[in-house]
Amino acid sequence: MYKDLLYYLIFPGFIFISVAGAFLSWFDRKITAWVQFRKGPPVLQPFYDFFKLLLVKETILPAGGSRLTFLMAPVFALAGASVSGILIMLPALGLKSGFSGDIIVIFYMLAIPSVTYMIGALAAGNPMASVGASREMKLIISYELTFLLIVAAIILKADMSIKVQDIILAQVEKGPFIGSLSGILLFVAFVFCMQAKLGLVPFDMAEAETEITHGSFIEYSGTAYAFIRLTKYMMLFILPAFLCIILLGGFRTDGIHLLWTVMKMIGVVLLITLIRNTNPRVRIDQAMRFFFIWMNLLVIAAIVLIYFGL
Amino acid sequence: MNLIITYLEIIILLPVIAGVILFFLPEKYRKIKSLAALAVSLMVLYYTVKLYFSGGAPGQINLIETGFLNWLGTSYLSGSSGNFFMLNLDNLARFILLLVAFFSVLILLYSYVYMDRKNALRNYYSLILLTLWASVCTVLSDSLFMFIFFWGFLGLTLYKLIKGHDEESSAAAKKTFIMIGASDGIMILGIGILWKITGHFNISELTVRTSDAIRFCAFLALLIGSFTKAGAFPFHTWVPDFAKNAPAPSSAYLPASLDKLLGIYFLTRICNDIFILSGWIRLVILILGGLTIIIAVMMALIQHNYKKLLGYHAVSQVGYMVTGIGLGSVLGLVGGLFHMVNHALYKSGLFLASGCIESKTGTDKLEKLGGLSRQMPITFICSLIFALSISGVPPLNGFASKWIIYQGIIDFGKGTGMANHLWIVWLSMAVIGSALTLASFIKFISGIFLGRSRTGLKKVKEVSWMMWTPMLILALICTGFGIFASKWIIPALFEPVTGSVTFIGVWDSSFISLLIAVSIILGISFYLIFSMGRFRTDESFIGGETNRRDVGFEPTSFYETIRNFGILKPLYGWAERKYFDIYDVSKIITLKISHLFSAAHNGILSNLAFWVLAGLIFMFIFLLI
């Protein structure tokens, strides 16, 4: 019980994921700077940002909104991110503990941050935030089906097993799932889903800075916004980690394999950073069409290929 | 055994006697009627609890041999008709009885204040008690003959529980009555076929393989009955109309809880006890289940009337139960039944919340509401819990039952039949349905409780404690069922009904809920430590524009993009013109045919004489052959 709580709060849970996510966020910003011929922030910049918000800045509450809901939403977002993170990291590192969740639980847990962002945004009582929340919801509807089909394809590849350990074991036996034609298609679709889940360009319409001034988060400041930033850092670690587990063969931490694990994570983050820096933002109806039609077709093609053993 | 019979006699006789007495009490003693009904329902609940824990082997009890009907004597109703008064008291029946009584108590508690106004529904309490009685008898009946009698009686009380005060509500009441009545007629046909084939009326004696066309027809007839009662596609169209026009406790009592309990109870009986299903029938049931989920939730997404929105969700959720039970495995059955219970919990809660909002604001349009979370905090928190539950957000109960159904679907996919190979289709229908449910409840919650408050709603206050207590109880049970799902609730409540179940996934609901609680406590303490005293309230920033009260982005227009999305646009248009409503379509066909025949009745004597003669000739030829 106490060991499980330590797992959850320190390693490989909350603290570890946030620190790793903060570094990944620095990496993302540094690459972005290089792409734009800038110098970029120092390594500790994400921490400066977070602690400034947490300790220094005042928290401004919207006069026309539901304040308690507005304040509690980021806390729930953080809780959802932490739980999905621990459920992914425990089997990834092969740690035995008193609790676990299967891939469906992780699928649902990963949706909690987006749901709470929306509720928080709607509680703010700002029309811009409402626009952001409505776009976020439509985006969730769009990518959720693709994401589920990817998960179903993984279950099919892992011989109908939904436990994360079994999915990793199946990849240890047969090689990572990405090493097949269907695996490559699933990888492509997953990267786009991840882009949408993280709210990065081209699917950042829910928080479009230039258009609706950070949409869902327009009213957040101070401690509440610090929680949101922290959740964003964590999600930047959790989703690539989930991708590594279900398609890239999982994590190994013994000897030289540790380097490989880090390389995998950095590679995935590099990929999403490059996508976000080389694409324009799409409209919400374009995003819906993109996921509903093209991405779903891609994943269905992958599922058909799995039935043929490819 | 004698004790059980005493309990049964009380449960069966008390509501009907009280209901009839209350029927003759004048309406001005409304408060007394309400308290009397509440007392009766509490007593029924007490005895159903005793019955539930009384143990004893599940089995049949013949009221003619042992119960209060023994004065009838076996000689009076000899032969197989003696089985008419057989009761089926297995674990499923005990469980459903407990739930029926529980919801009756909650609804009656709520109604004490809600129904206390000038032009409230007449004989409401009497009708609620008679509904309770008919539901209890429906669940207990072993003989299909008695079953259909009480089942039909429920259709009547359902009809009386809408107040037909204007044209629209009368039309809704009529629609409900006709659809339920027609389905009962079809069920009688199915029971007749079953009797013709097997010679039995009793559920415990029937085991029929759906091998040939006639048995398939019997199954289909009974399936239509259960689908119409539970409100599954394509026989669901009465539910949204009923929910829109009926008083909130009526909606919470019948379409949200009791009709689901009974419809799904009967579906379980026909799928597991009466018939042995073939793979193709499973395919049909799963297709209907999936379509129910998607179609109803798509309609819910575009509603502007929150009661109708809830009505569509009362349909959509049935799809999960039908899917779970249609899978035919223990896992699916547990999932389906658990979802049925969960649905009854959160949906009756949501209807009660809608009643609170309507009684305080006087409107049922989402456009006219907003920002009530500060004025009605308890209603808001309960509604939020219900809304997140129904959307399947972990660790609440809606997620727990959906999780079991998803596992059932994945487990089902290991099989070899046609339906088994399509498991991904069933899974994706269920999951996208859950995402769309979330979308429409975001609209519900934000439209009513969040956002800026309207000028006309400044004086709205929280409802009285007798109205929020039932909601709070339901919300606590929703949370509790979710948190303790895998460890306590399933083994304690559902495994006695279905047999032991092995999950293929893992979900330590209690411990993960504890982790979430720890995180939330940490989060709150962070707020208290770091930003206490640094809170400041200010007007919203809207890109430098002045913040005008009349400018905003309404939740009702959130999903216009989806409404105008490609193929969905014409489909929504057709749906709003009721092209897919089985009631309206059959109404048009019936009217067309009757117009055709009415052309013969043009009042000219020679024409009438001709028709009489033609009829006589036809009969003559018919008799000759």
pLDDT per residue as tens digits for the range A86-95: 888 888 887 7
Contact yes or no for B204/B87 (Cβ under 8 A): no
Task: Give the position of tokens 């966020």.
Answer: A25
The answer, yes or no, to whether the previous bond of A202 is cis (omega within 30 of 0) is yes
**Coil, strand or helix at B143:** strand
B60 part of a folded domain: no
pLDDT per residue as tens digits for the range B575-597: 888 778 888 888 889 899 988 88
CA atoms within 13 A on the CB side of B404: 30
**Coil, strand or helix at B536:** strand
Residue A270 and residue B531: Cα distance in Å, rounded?
35
Q: Indicate the pTM of the whole model.
A: 0.91
Structure tokens at B256: 């949200």
Sort out which chain B residues have CB atoms less than 8 A from A131's CB and list them.
Answer: 553
Sort out which chain B residues have CB atoms less than 8 A from A59's CB and list them.
Answer: 531, 534-536
Which of A90, A103, A139, A162 is the mutation pick for testing B, counting most B CBs within 10 A? A162
Contact yes or no for A261/A114 (Cβ under 8 A): no
Instruction: Select from A79, A130, A218 the Cβ nearest to the Cβ of B451.
Output: A130
Which residues neighbour B527 within 8 Å (Cβ) at sequence distance 6 or greater?
Answer: A71, A75, A223, A224
Q: What's the full length of chain A, in residues?
A: 310
Residue B206 and residue A232: Cα distance in Å, rounded?
59
pLDDT, average across residues B415-441: 88
B2 part of a folded domain: no
Kindly determine whether residue A101 and residue B507, on different chains, have CB atoms separated by under 8 Å. yes
Contact yes or no for B204/B147 (Cβ under 8 A): no
B169 part of a folded domain: no
- Interface pTM, i.e. ipTM: 0.91
- Distance to chain A for B450, nearest Cα, Å: 5
pLDDT, average across residues B345-355: 89
Report the mean per-residue pLDDT for chain B.
84
Torsion of CA A97, A14, A250, A172, to 10 degrees: -10
pLDDT at B80 over 60: no
What is the longest distance spanned by two Cα atoms in chain B? Answer: 100
- Distance to chain B for A267, nearest Cα, Å: 30
Burial of A47 (0-12, 13-18, 19+ CB in 10 A): middle
* pLDDT score at A26: 92
Closest CA to B447 of A66, A104, A183: A66
Structure tokens at B56: 């004893």
Sort out which chain B residues have CB atoms less than 8 A from A57's CB and list them.
Answer: 534
Instruction: Select from B507, B520, B540 the Cβ nearest to the Cβ of A75.
Output: B520
Using alpha carbons, list the distances in angstroms from residue B605 to B519, B600, B608, B609, B611.
87, 11, 5, 6, 10
Kindly determine whether residue B539 and residue A64, on different chains, have CB atoms separated by under 8 Å. yes
Report the mean per-residue pLDDT for chain A.
87
The parent domain of residue B594 ranges over: 582-624
Helix (H) or strand (E) segment spanning residue B537: strand B535-538
Kindly determine whether residue B526 and residue A131, on different chains, have CB atoms separated by under 8 Å. no
* pLDDT score at B68: 65
Sort out which chain B residues have CB atoms less than 8 A from A119's CB and list them.
Answer: 384, 442, 445-446, 450
Kindly determine whether residue A98 and residue B511, on different chains, have CB atoms separated by under 8 Å. yes
Give the relative orientation of helices B397-412 and B465-483 as an angle to the nearest 10 degrees.
Answer: 40
pLDDT at A228 over 80: yes
Sort out which chain A residues have CB atoms less than 8 A from B396's CB and list them.
Answer: none
Kindly determine whether residue B392 and residue A108, on different chains, have CB atoms separated by under 8 Å. yes
Percent of chain A with pLDDT over 70: 100
Structure tokens at B117: 């106004």
Instruction: Select from B450, B527, B558 the Cβ nearest to the Cβ of A134.
Output: B558
B287: confidence class by pLDDT, cuts 50, 70, 90: very high
Please work out, in degrees rounded to the nearest 5, the angle formed at the alpha carbon of residue A222 by the alpha carbons of A216 and A224: 55
Kindly determine whether residue B553 and residue A130, on different chains, have CB atoms separated by under 8 Å. yes
A240: confidence class by pLDDT, cuts 50, 70, 90: very high
- Distance to chain A for B263, nearest Cα, Å: 29
Contact yes or no for A82/A14 (Cβ under 8 A): yes
The 3 state secondary structure assigned to chain A is CHHHHHHHHCCCCHHHHHHHHHHHHHHHHHHHHHHCCCCCCCCCHHHHHHHHHHHHCCEEEECCCCHHHHHHHHHHHHHHHHHHHHHHHHHHCCCCCCCCECHHHHHHHCCHHHHHHHHHHHHCCCHHHHHHHHHHHHHHHHHHHHHHHHHHHHHHHCCCCCCHHHHHHHHHHHCCHHHCHHHHHHHHHHHHHHHHHHCCCCCCHHHCHHHHCCHHHCCCCHHHHHHHHHHHHHHHHHHHHHHHHHCCCCCCCCCHHHHHHHHHHHHHHHHHHHHHHHCCCCCHHHHHHHHHHHHHHHHHHHHHHHHCCC
Contact yes or no for B162/B307 (Cβ under 8 A): no
Instruction: Select from A5, A108, A162 the Cβ nearest to the Cβ of B394.
Output: A108
Kindly determine whether residue A79 and residue B520, on different chains, have CB atoms separated by under 8 Å. yes
pLDDT, average across residues B252-258: 84
Name the closest residue on chain A to residue B375, using Cα atoms: A66
C-beta neighbour count of B53 within 10 angstroms: 9
- Number of folded domains in chain A? 1
Structure tokens at B34: 């309400």
pLDDT per residue as tens digits for the range A202-220: 888 888 777 777 778 888 8
Sort out which chain B residues have CB atoms less than 8 A from A124's CB and list them.
Answer: 540
Sort out which chain A residues have CB atoms less than 8 A from B374's CB and list them.
Answer: 66
Using alpha carbons, list the distances in angstroms from residue B138 to A237, B130, B152, B481, B520.
55, 12, 10, 27, 45
* pLDDT score at B246: 83
pLDDT per residue as tens digits for the range B14-55: 888 998 998 888 878 888 888 999 999 999 999 999 888 887
Beta bridge partners of B260: none
Kindly determine whether residue B553 and residue A219, on different chains, have CB atoms separated by under 8 Å. no
Torsion of CA B31, B377, B375, B117, to 10 degrees: -10
Sort out which chain B residues have CB atoms less than 8 A from A229's CB and list them.
Answer: none
Kindly determine whether residue A125 and residue B452, on different chains, have CB atoms separated by under 8 Å. yes
- Distance to chain A for B267, nearest Cα, Å: 27
B602 part of a folded domain: yes
β-strand pairing of B535-538 with A59-62 = parallel
- Distance to chain A for B458, nearest Cα, Å: 13
Quick one: residue A252, left, alpha or beta (phi over 0 = left, psi -120 to 50 = alpha)? Answer: beta
Kindly determine whether residue B506 and residue A222, on different chains, have CB atoms separated by under 8 Å. no
Kindly determine whether residue A134 and residue B559, on different chains, have CB atoms separated by under 8 Å. yes
Residue B536 and residue B543: Cα distance in Å, rounded?
20
Name the closest residue on chain B to residue A218, using Cα atoms: B541
* pLDDT score at B195: 86
Which of B61 and B298 is assigned the larger pLDDT?
B298
The answer, yes or no, to whether the previous bond of B496 is cis (omega within 30 of 0) is no
* pLDDT score at A238: 92
Which of A86, A114, A130, A163 is the mutation pick for testing B, counting most B CBs within 10 A? A130
Task: Give the position of tokens 């939403």.
Answer: A73
* pLDDT score at B56: 67
pLDDT at B618 over 80: yes
* pLDDT score at A235: 92
Inter-chain Cβ pairs, chain A and chain B, closer than 8 A: 241
Task: Give the position of tokens 């003989």.
Answer: B143
Contact yes or no for A73/A117 (Cβ under 8 A): yes
Sort out which chain A residues have CB atoms less than 8 A from B453's CB and list them.
Answer: 64
- Distance to chain A for B523, nearest Cα, Å: 6
Return the DSSP state at B573. Answer: H
Which residues neighbour B92 within 8 Å (Cβ) at sequence distance 6 or greater?
Answer: B265, B268, B269, B497
Kindly determine whether residue B524 and residue A222, on different chains, have CB atoms separated by under 8 Å. no
The parent domain of residue A96 ranges over: 2-307
Torsion of CA A103, A108, A114, A116, to 10 degrees: -140
Sort out which chain B residues have CB atoms less than 8 A from A91's CB and list them.
Answer: none
Residue B34 and residue A304: Cα distance in Å, rounded?
61
Sort out which chain B residues have CB atoms less than 8 A from A123's CB and list them.
Answer: 373, 450-451
pLDDT, average across residues B56-81: 61
- Number of folded domains in chain B? 1
B1: confidence class by pLDDT, cuts 50, 70, 90: low
B310 part of a folded domain: no
B261 part of a folded domain: no
* pLDDT score at A231: 92
Amino acid at A178: I
Kindly determine whether residue B403 and residue A104, on different chains, have CB atoms separated by under 8 Å. yes
* pLDDT score at B82: 56
Percent of chain B with pLDDT over 70: 93
Give me Rg for the CA atoms of chain A: 19
pLDDT per residue as tens digits for the range A102-161: 888 899 989 899 889 888 888 887 888 888 888 888 888 889 899 999 999 988 888 888
* pLDDT score at B582: 83
Residue A108 and residue A8: Cα distance in Å, rounded?
18
Residue B40 and residue B42: Cα distance in Å, rounded?
5
* pLDDT score at B386: 92
Residue B479 and residue B459: Cα distance in Å, rounded?
31
pLDDT per residue as tens digits for the range B456-480: 777 777 778 888 888 899 999 989 9
- Distance to chain A for B188, nearest Cα, Å: 41
Kindly determine whether residue B450 and residue A104, on different chains, have CB atoms separated by under 8 Å. no
B58: confidence class by pLDDT, cuts 50, 70, 90: low
